Amino acid sequence: MAEFDFTQIIIYAALVIIVLKAIIIVKEKTAVVVERLGKFTRIAQPGIGLIVPFIDKKSGIVNLRVQQLDVEVETKTKDDVFVKLKVSVQFQVKSQRVREAFYSLDNPRNQISSYVFDDVRSEVPKMDLDDVFAKKEDIALAVAQNLREAMEEYGFKIVKTLITDIDPDDRVKVAMNKINAAKREKYATMEEAEAYKIRVVKEAEAEAESKRLSGEGIANQRLEIVRGFKESVEDFQRSLKDVTHEEVMQFVLLTQYFDTINNVGANSKNTSILIPHSPSAMKDFQDQIIQGTFVGNKLRDYAQSNEDDAKKAPAKKTRKTNND
């Protein structure tokens, strides 16, 4: 009886092992390659599945997720600058072509890296260093296109290719920073000069406007002074009818003289000196004004006489011609 129980236990254990060997569980976004006696049989999809124990086996598990491979490539640009580019390749195994992806390539990552090296080293040497920075999207597109064509037959889909880093030689970076700093300094100098120019122009305009307004003020002030003189002389003549114009002018000038002396003396910081500064000098000043006025009147009368003679001469010539 004990021997029978032991035999049953062995049989049950063997059945359990067989059942466990026959059941396979495939995770989501993965595929299992099943071989029978060393030959490909089928692809097991996600979920639970059955195989023939000891005859079928799981040969491998293929990841169907999007994977990323980072490749660092060092190459030389057209202007002989060595630069390192970090290329990130996002790829995925096509669910319909798991067999080709599993059996065609022994190490897909190494294969993709080789294609990336070849493509980058064929594209970058056509460009200057500045163009490498400016056209990195073009480099990425060229690499992606070549990779898609190459990896399509192996069952791989190239989702996207990115140039994530461009690292030139340290000395080149220092030189580039100096060039950039010089350009910015030049731009700042130009802007500063333009600002100074605007400031100088505005100051000149303000000074011109100030002088114009000051001139208008002085002109108005002189008009008012002349008007005041006129009213003072008229009032003086109405009060004293026997007084001559010369006496009135002398009196006004003497009054202005004393007013000026008073203003100069009132200012303790004034260093002005009037030459001549005696009251008798006002008589000389008046004589100079009268003499200048007299000469001006004579010159005006002489000019008027010449103008009248010039007008009469053509008329006489015309009458003589008519008589002839």
Residues 4 and 35 sit within 8 Å (Cβ to Cβ): no
Backbone angles phi and psi of 244, in degrees to 5: -85, 170
Rounded distance, CA 282 to CA 288, Å?
A: 10
Q: Would the pTM count as exceeding 0.95? A: no
Tokens 């990323």 found at: 68
- Give the separation between CA 72 and CA 163, rounded to whole angstroms: 10
pLDDT at 51: 83
Distance CA 233, CA 226 (A): 10
Burial label for 7, CB within 10 Å (0-12, 13-18, 19+), is exposed
- On whether the CB atoms of residues 102 and 60 are closer than 8 A, the answer is yes
CATH class as words, domain 67-168: alpha beta
Q: Give me the long-range contacts of 247-255 (CB less than 8 A, separation at least 24).
A: 249/286, 249/289, 249/290, 250/282, 250/283, 250/286, 253/282, 253/285, 253/286, 254/279, 254/282
State the Cα–Cα distance between residues 268 and 200, nearest whole angstrom: 37
Q: Which residues contact 35 (CB under 8 A, 6 or more apart)?
A: 41, 56, 57, 59
- Distance (Å, whole) CA 231 – CA 28: 114
Instruction: Answer yes or no: are the C-beta atoms of 35 and 44 closer than 8 Å.
Output: no
Per-residue DSSP letter, 46: S
CA dihedral angle for residue 291, residue 296, residue 298, residue 300, rounded to 10 degrees: -170
| pLDDT values of the chain reduced to their tens digit, one per residue, 324 residues | 445 567 778 887 878 888 778 888 888 989 999 988 888 888 888 888 888 888 888 888 899 999 999 999 999 888 888 899 999 999 999 989 999 999 988 889 999 999 999 999 988 999 988 888 888 899 999 999 999 988 988 999 999 999 999 888 878 777 777 887 788 888 888 888 888 888 888 888 888 888 888 878 877 776 776 677 667 666 766 666 666 666 666 666 666 666 676 666 666 666 655 555 555 665 666 666 666 666 666 777 777 777 777 776 665 555 555 555
